[in-house]
Structure 1
Amino acid sequence: MTGQQVRVGLQVQPEHADYATIRQTAAEAEALGADVIFVWDHFFPLTGDPNGKHFECWTVLAALAESTSTVQLGPLVSCVRYRNPDLLADMARTIDHISGGRALLGLGSGWYEKDFTSYGYPFGTDSERLQELAAALPRVKTRLAQLNPPPAGKLPLMLGGSGEKRTLRLVAEDADIWHAFHDPATIRHKLSVLHKHCADVRRDPAEIEVATSVSGLAAHEGTPGELGPELHDLGVSLFIVGAGGPEFDLGPLRQWIAWRDRAND
Structure 2
Amino acid sequence: MAIRIGVQIQPQQAPDYQLIRDAVLRAEDLGVDVVFNWDHFFPLYGDADGPHFECWTMLGAWAEQTSRVEFGALVTCNSYRNPELLADMARTVDHISGGRVILGIGSGWFERDYDEYGYEFGTAGSRLDDLGAAMPRIVDRWGKLNPPPTRKIPVLIGGGGERKTLRIVAEYGDIWHSFADAEAYRHKSEVLARHCADVGRDPAQIERSVAVGGKGKTVDDVLRQADEMAELGVGLITADAGGPRYNLDRVEALCRWRDQRS
Which runs of 5 or more structure 1 residues have no equivalent in the other structure?
Answer: none
Displacement after TM superposition at 1:181 (Å): 1.0
Q: Counterparts of 1:163 and 1:222 in 2: how far apart (Å)?
A: 30
Instruction: Give 1:251's match in structure 2, choosing from 246, 249, 252.
Output: 249
Q: Which amino acid aligns with 1:171?
A: V
Q: Does 1:176 align with 2:152?
A: no
Change (3 A) 1:69 1:37: same
Corresponding residue SS for 1:191: helix
Aligned partners of 1:159 and 1:179 also within 8 Å: yes
Displacement after TM superposition at 1:221 (Å): 6.4
Residue of structure 2 equivalent to 1:49: 47
Residue of structure 1 equivalent to 2:199: 201
Residue of structure 2 equivalent to 1:6: 3
Q: Which amino acid aligns with 2:4?
A: R
Aligned partners of 2:213 and 2:221 also within 8 Å: no
Q: Which amino acid aligns with 1:203?
A: R
Q: Counterparts of 2:141 and 2:47 in 1: how far apart (Å)?
A: 38
Corresponding residue SS for 1:55: coil
Residue of structure 2 equivalent to 1:167: 165
Q: Counterparts of 1:47 and 1:71 in 2: how far apart (Å)?
A: 26
Aligned partners of 1:220 and 1:226 also within 8 Å: no
Q: Counterparts of 2:33 and 2:111 in 1: how far apart (Å)?
A: 31
Residue of structure 2 equivalent to 1:136: 134
Residue by residue over 1:138-162, the C-alpha shift from the partner in whole angstroms, topping out at 9 and shown as x without a partner, is: 1100101100011112310111111
Residue of structure 1 equivalent to 2:115: 117
Displacement after TM superposition at 1:183 (Å): 0.9
Aligned partners of 2:219 and 2:249 also within 8 Å: no
Q: Which amino acid aligns with 1:93?
A: R
Aligned partners of 1:220 and 1:227 also within 8 Å: no
Residue by residue over 1:210-264, the C-alpha shift from the partner in whole angstroms, topping out at 9 and shown as x without a partner, is: 001112287886434422222112121100111110101101101111111112x
Corresponding residue SS for 1:240: strand
Which runs of 5 or more structure 2 residues have no equivalent in the other structure?
Answer: none
Residue of structure 1 equivalent to 2:214: 216
Residue of structure 2 equivalent to 1:39: 37
Corresponding residue SS for 1:50: coil
Aligned partners of 1:172 and 1:194 also within 8 Å: yes
Corresponding residue SS for 2:98: coil
Corresponding residue SS for 2:101: coil
Residue of structure 2 equivalent to 1:83: 81
Q: Counterparts of 2:95 and 2:235 in 1: how far apart (Å)?
A: 26
Residue of structure 2 equivalent to 1:94: 92
Aligned partners of 1:215 and 1:242 also within 8 Å: yes
TM normalised by structure 2 equals 0.97
Which deviates the most, 150-159 or 111-120? 150-159
Change (3 A) 1:175 1:135: same
Identity of matched residues, %:
53
Aligned partners of 1:10 and 1:243 also within 8 Å: yes
Residue of structure 2 equivalent to 1:152: 150
Q: Which amino acid aligns with 1:125?
A: T
Displacement after TM superposition at 1:182 (Å): 1.5
Change (3 A) 1:190 1:49: same
Q: Counterparts of 2:95 and 2:4 in 1: how far apart (Å)?
A: 23
